[in-house]
Structure 1
């Protein structure tokens, strides 16, 4: 999605669904976007890029595509389980934050899902040093 559409999607989720914006979203060079908090320590990541991002690993493997981000207790264990189940996924290491391994997979409806390590992410609002931005 382009930057304008990312802005419109952010406004929709904020104004219509009353989700709060994580004001401390990591700076990812060349990637416009927002992290929106869902109650229960889950986020929607709305990201903008004109064409494939510099982090794309090929068709259908662009982590800049909008997605739901879920945190797990043990990312290595989660990856081993994906392998055991034969689930296709791709990884990014240390892009959004140092020491952050991200797994990306598609659900049966072709939605992109991110899985990452709890404690190395910004999912838990209560554990952030930067508070969420006020709604305006």
Structure 2
């Protein structure tokens, strides 16, 4: 059975830290994209989330060298990638295991209660999977994320969130 992918949520673009402001200005002033003012502060990652209508964003991610969330060579979530929403992230992870697809995950790094799975396609492109309704990619989903931060479910705007250190990488036998 294939994964239950529902939507394209964002395309992430990595850049050196000294280019973040210029990139934000270009995407805002030239392309006319609105900045998501509620972007969580991800420790160690400068950048912008830019809205493309209601349903998708471009994430500008600034980092020099491996990000603080890298889990080794080829396992840095701040690389250029596409993010897709799935109906149930736990089911998606189980299906990746069943299919023997190598993947790794982060919990509560970019947002409270957000598990992110990362995998590569056959030519090496990085793909992120996350559960629908748990991120800021869709304007209509932001109420959940903002409410969780307000409840104290995690530090406001994700400040200080850390990845878990164990059980992240699944390599097929």
Normalised by the size of structure 2, how large is the TM-score? 0.64
* TM-superposed deviation, 1:33: 1.2
2:19 aligns to what? 5
Unaligned stretches of 5+ residues in structure 1: 131-136
**Aligned with residue 75 of structure 1, among 82, 89, 92:** 89
* TM-superposed deviation, 1:3: 1.6
Against the structure 1 CA distance between its residues 108 and 28, is the aligned structure 2 distance closer, same or farther, given a 3 Å change threshold? same
Contact 2:135 2:142 in 1 (8 A): no
- Is it true that 1:102 corresponds to 2:102 in the alignment? no
Distance in 1, matches of 2:32 and 2:130, equals: 25
Aligned length: 130
Against the structure 1 CA distance between its residues 79 and 49, is the aligned structure 2 distance closer, same or farther, given a 3 Å change threshold? same
* TM-superposed deviation, 1:60: 0.9
Contact 2:54 2:140 in 1 (8 A): no
Normalised by the size of structure 1, how large is the TM-score? 0.78
Larger Rg: 2
Q: RMSD over aligned Cα, in angstroms?
A: 2.3
